[in-house]
Amino acid sequence: MKLITRNTDYAMRALCYIARQRERSVPVPEMVAALKIPRPFLRKIVQTLGREGVLRSSKGQGGGFLLALKPEDVRLADLVRIFQGTIQLNECIFKKKICPNRGTCALKREIDGIERDALARLHKVTIASLIRNGKHHD
Amino acid sequence: MKLITRNTDYAMRALCYIARQRERSVPVPEMVAALKIPRPFLRKIVQTLGREGVLRSSKGQGGGFLLALKPEDVRLADLVRIFQGTIQLNECIFKKKICPNRGTCALKREIDGIERDALARLHKVTIASLIRNGKHHD
DNA sequence: ACAAATGATACCAATAAGGTATCATTATGG
DNA sequence: CCATAATGATACCTTATTGGTATCATTTGT
Ligand code: FES
Ligand code: FES
| Cα-Cα end-to-end distance for chain B | 25
| Cα-Cα end-to-end distance for chain A | 26
Listed by start position, the domains of chain B span 6-85+127-133
Three-state DSSP state, B123: helix
User: Which pLDDT tens digit goes with each residue over B51-82?
Assistant: 999 999 999 999 999 999 999 999 999 999 99
Q: pTM to 2 decimals?
A: 0.90
Nearest protein residue to nucleotide D20 (CA to C1' distance) is A41
Q: Is A137 in the pocket of ligand 1 (CB under 6 A)?
A: yes
Nearest protein residue to nucleotide D6 (CA to C1' distance) is B60
A12/B89 Cβ within 8 A? no
B93 sits in which H/E element: strand B93-94
Three-state DSSP state, B26: strand
How far does residue B111's CA lie from ligand 2's centre (Å)?
A: 28
Q: What is the CATH number of domain A6-85+127-133?
A: 1.10.10.10
Nearest nucleotide over every DNA/RNA strand to the B4 CA, judged by C1': C17
Residue B111 has pLDDT above 70, yes or no: yes
Length of chain A: 138
Report pLDDT for A86.
Answer: 79
B80/A109 Cβ within 8 A? no
Three-state DSSP state, B61: coil
